[in-house]
Chains A and B, each alone.
Chain A
């Protein structure tokens, strides 16, 4: 890739499609993942897991397993009674019950895959042999599977200690919603079930732990996690030690998508049994475990109502969001990460001031709900955007025009619930998507196709994505918490640059983008910058990478710390150049005096002087040398954009083919357009999966039947069409550098565009699409029902 230099010198790297520096390592097989870690004397763990949705454990007999040559130990909850419970307290707000669990099930198992015991053996093969020999006697209990029934007072309880299944009921309203609905010319109502999907990263989870019995005991834990410091913060108290006795190291991570920003029982059990056995222990999750016992996402029953005037003005939104929360409240984000996120951002890019939402979070005997790319924004977007198309059909309005008519302007805007958008291209993005699918001629093409018995349709889904998740945005999202993120920049004595950060990278390319930012701020070549993260011993504190936060937080924290170092470098250079610091500039690792060609000093020399220049150096440099550490707590940043889909539906087989997918993305100033495209494309593919393929299915008895990639289908290259990726750049009004995040846009926007396109294609049949994924089986049932209704009337 050639790097064209069109920008002023002060922004040499930011904004350009610099090649990813991590790729040569990762693509040549030199990445080092948790499974690559081998320690002397290490044992391998396999978990005994519940085959039942809900059952009482009557007895655990491990004698056959222990008799097997190569099996070293079997531990159950009784052996781990010294651990403190794992507690999900959730955000710093009222209205959600704290939920506590033991890492291994004590007397009741609560979902298929719930861990019951752990077998340690000399090899992973022997560990699984031992696992198969552990005899657990269960008394099956009636499972709680229907989230709505779980809310009924007579429902059995998933966790009796809580006294209820509903761990959180929240409601909020702004304006006068009742009046708006009473006065509306038209009300549309949609009940939509967003399906159950998950992240399914290529690398499943994994934990390696060792315990050293010195200085009161020290745990070193390697985990495939997105948030080393947070994991340490949550694991240490369960292990009963101060954080200073725990090191978390997260080496290369082979995909995470939010799944790995949860704290799991295995994160605690593996270090605990390393202590008990006196041997290092490795556990590498297999695909079944990942699908059955990781986190699930987006399973939500949404009720969406829109009040409108006859001319198409939308006057009020009302939403009810019930998250089928699974058996445990996930740590740290809780199922509110889905339900609350669906509710509080309900108005999105529409100028609707009367708005209300309520959420319920019933526990059920399924896998826990946690944060996965797009979180509850995806079901919220589906409910709203599908309802808007329905409104347009009912009013006989064009869905694009109706949206444009109701859209907010491009400037800073505060929503009814108080989120303050930092400016965006809301209408422009929709117009751009509309033009990209050639909407003007589409209806004609559609009519012609219908004459040939072919059903094509188009759908739009403009979105706002909360990004740069930090203290301000979390508060605005009704999930208040403190977020602290720092970067430390050091210019080493030879002029090379080391940045450490508590952010993490697991595909996003932060080794590249953060180096770009650093190089620009310091005025050094990017090749001289190394970005270090992923280890609590070597990185400054930070809260990890999720919720599209790292571009904003990385840029902000590095600009501040690098700026401080740059200031010192300039003053040092001024001494060496015998010039005024104001006249010195640092470009490409060479300091010069403005307007005086030939008078230069290289960074190496400045740095050496900075460390060893004695009293000739400024006082602060004598004290701090060339290291600066700084935090950043940004204001609210919101990316926006629009997806548009063109699909063809085979009405006889129910298959949907995505013919065209347009994604217009406005994430403010782009650090690296190629990386932005990669993020958008990956998220769009994820969105295709959510819309059409991905489904975690439980049978009526709670049995889990989607435990392999034979049944949990995600899109492959043959299901993702050539994407039209378009960009608009509206710099953030609030963030350093005008940057916004970009990680989840496609997953938020694509599903609703696809569902709307399917509904549009099938409009002659009067079919209401009311769930994802839209499978062939489901579509045929809908078409069959519609046929029957037509015949009956």
Chain B
């Protein structure tokens, strides 16, 4: 439970951070340390150097004009407590309630949870459901990656070794229905299965656009194409549609299996929570614009 030897670097600017990452092969960004440090203590990760981005100006903060912008090093606790986020992007607040515990959220960062790409993490799925876009800093500039394109597999994303996640943009989505649900053994544990849903209704309450983002079921957070297709054209809160969407939610998705949870369990429980989330979405107070 003691990490292997590593160097520690604390750049003062983004440019220095990118340079440090490039100059130190096998180095890693250190944000809140809530996942990286335990992995290092168990020697599951042995980075040559840590590039601590905690003191870089401008990487932390929440701003909401039309859309929401959250800096990568903003603490999860700060986003959870933010009144604007609660009012306009309540799905994020709901997801964050399930991310660890007060102590881990006080240190863990918003961007760290996304960049870490733990398949059972809540925030990545919420980002998929919200059509978020990620701004990535790299040598010589930035690039923007849609949430749907960002996650590749267990702990892997499109980020190259010398890139870092700078901030997250979430469009204004007031007026859409949403819900968040997960099954966890204990409150604050990683989920056995989970879902973030967002439904855009027309004036008659018919779904015109659907997001059903699943987590903890596969090697990465995934949108269920089958469930989303099925829901478009149905009424928000329609019980039959909700049940049907739950049943097909994992069609075409390779469901994960491990020493503790079978794929069969995940499939059954996912059907149940997707249905429940879709029903709950009809009654949850919508986010404001």
Which A residues are within 8 Å of any B CB, using their own CB? 124-125, 128-129, 132, 286-288, 652-655, 693, 697, 699, 705, 708, 710-711, 713, 715-716, 718-719, 775-777, 780-781, 784
Residues of B within 8 A of A784 (CB): 264, 268
Report B118 CB to chain A, min CB distance, Å: 11
Neighbour of A288 across the interface among B42, B185, B188, B189, CB < 8 A: B42
Report B203 CB to chain A, min CB distance, Å: 33
Question: How many angstroms between the C-alpha atoms of A719 and B271 in the bound complex?
Answer: 25
Check if B186 sits within 8 Å of A693, measured CB to CB. yes
Question: How many angstroms between the C-alpha atoms of A654 and B1 in the bound complex?
Answer: 34
The answer to whether the Cβ of B256 comes within 8 Å of any Cβ in the partner chain is no
Q: Identify 24 residue pairs between A and B in the complex whose beta-carbon atoms are under 8 Å apart, listed by A's number.
A: A124-B2, A125-B2, A128-B43, A132-B4, A132-B43, A287-B1, A288-B1, A288-B42, A653-B269, A653-B273, A654-B265, A654-B269, A693-B186, A705-B260, A711-B260, A715-B186, A719-B186, A775-B260, A777-B261, A777-B262, A780-B264, A780-B269, A784-B264, A784-B268
Contact (A780, B268) CB under 8 Å given A125-B5, A288-B42, A653-B183:
yes
Closest to A719 in B: B186
Report B179 CB to chain A, min CB distance, Å: 16
Neighbour of B183 across the interface among A129, A655, A699, A718, CB < 8 A: A655
Contact (A780, B1) CB under 8 Å given A705-B259, A716-B186:
no
Within B250-289, which residues are at the interface with A (CB < 8 Å)? Answer: 259-262, 264-265, 268-269, 271-273
Question: How many angstroms between the C-alpha atoms of A185 and B184 in the bound complex?
Answer: 45
Check if B186 sits within 8 Å of A129, measured CB to CB. no
Residues of A within 8 A of B183 (CB): 653, 655, 776
Question: How many angstroms between the C-alpha atoms of A593 and B43 in the bound complex?
Answer: 72
Tell me the interface secondary structure of chain B in the complex: loop
Check if A718 sits within 8 Å of B187, measured CB to CB. yes
The answer to whether the Cβ of B192 comes within 8 Å of any Cβ in the partner chain is yes
Closest to B276 in A: A652
Candidate in A132, A288, A777, A781 with the most chain B CB atoms within 10 angstroms? A777
Residues of A within 8 A of B190 (CB): 710
Check if B259 sits within 8 Å of A776, measured CB to CB. no
Residues of B within 8 A of A655 (CB): 183
Report B158 CB to chain A, min CB distance, Å: 26
Neighbour of B185 across the interface among A128, A699, A713, A780, CB < 8 A: A713
Contact (A776, B186) CB under 8 Å given A128-B43, A132-B43:
no
Besides A653-B272, A775-B260, 18 more A-B contacts (Cβ < 8 Å) are A125-B5, A128-B4, A129-B5, A288-B1, A652-B269, A653-B273, A654-B269, A693-B186, A697-B260, A699-B259, A705-B260, A708-B42, A716-B188, A776-B185, A776-B265, A777-B261, A780-B264, A780-B268
Check if B187 sits within 8 Å of A719, measured CB to CB. yes
The answer to whether the Cβ of B3 comes within 8 Å of any Cβ in the partner chain is yes
Candidate in A652, A653, A654, A719 with the most chain B CB atoms within 10 angstroms? A653
Check if B186 sits within 8 Å of A128, measured CB to CB. no
Check if A718 sits within 8 Å of B2, measured CB to CB. no
Residues of A within 8 A of B1 (CB): 128, 286-288
Check if A697 sits within 8 Å of B259, measured CB to CB. yes
Closest to B183 in A: A653
Check if B268 sits within 8 Å of A652, measured CB to CB. yes
Check if B269 sits within 8 Å of A693, measured CB to CB. no
Residues of A within 8 A of B189 (CB): 713
Question: How many angstroms between the C-alpha atoms of A691 and B247 in the bound complex?
Answer: 31
